[in-house]
Structure 1
């Protein structure tokens, strides 16, 4: 887990890239099917989705999710409880925002946007939560601490 603001920013950049890429891959496959062009199509959608996700994460979702999660489990809760509560709250907020982004990218601002958004939310949540808790969280924490041992990124 990051221990200061700079570590938090680096961790967010890595985690967001991981989650956005795999969720973009998933949604591209869900909408267009699995094909030889799947990776290329997902990669084309990645940069804009990543930019939106970083902004939403850093300025909107993370501050709210962290406060909510710590209110639920308590500020003095064991680290493992925080490592479940915070990402779970983060996934809830990010799924809402990024599912709306996906709906707008898919159908634009039309009469179908709300329906597509509401359809995307559960479809994304059932993949994003286990991806975050079981794969992305452990992998990114491991990579982050290997690349940046505690104290390497100064305050």
Structure 2
């Protein structure tokens, strides 16, 4: 979808914002439940996690996901689905590990492995069904249509 480096940066910022907001909300709900102040915790975590996710997504996750998707999804029509599958496959372990190391100060496999699995189960449908289509729609309407 993005044709230039500027568009690629904008698209990555939009996608990272949507995914970090969704995953922060999910993890806050998982840890605090509906009764606690989950929304405030999600926003607080999102502000910190977004600035970690943005360079990780742009410099590591997106290029690797692009290569992986290009290898298995050759048709232009199905390529966004391939990216939607490959991106969480690569980003969930990177982001879960970084967030647990940087913000939660934990390295325990008893905490990390369940967090990986739990985040995978939520990240794929979030990417494929909500954030991915919404960001692509907004990107086409706001950025790509302005050419």
With normalisation by structure 2, the TM-score equals 0.91
Q: Gaps (5+ residues) in structure 2?
A: none
Q: How does 1:117-136 map to 2 (within 5 A)?
A: 117-136=112-131
Work out which of the residue numbers 87, 96, 102 in structure 1 matches 2:99. Answer: 102
Report the number of matched residues.
146
Shift of 1:5: 1.5
Shift of 1:36: 5.2
Q: Gaps (5+ residues) in structure 1?
A: none
State how far apart, in whole Å, the 2-side matches of 1:139 and 1:67 are: 23
Q: Which residue of 2 aligns with 1:87?
A: 84
Q: How does 1:1-150 map to 2 (within 5 A)?
A: 1-35=1-35, 37-73=37-73, 77-104=74-101, 105-106=103-104, 108-110=105-107, 112=108, 114-150=109-145
State how far apart, in whole Å, the 2-side matches of 1:150 and 1:52 are: 30
Whether the 8 Å CA contact 1:103–1:120 is kept in 2: the answer is no
Query: Cα RMSD between the aligned structures?
Result: 1.5
Deviations 1:58-100 (A, max 9, x none): 1111111111211122xxx222321111121111111001111
Q: Show structure 1 runs of 4+ deviating over 6 A.
A: none
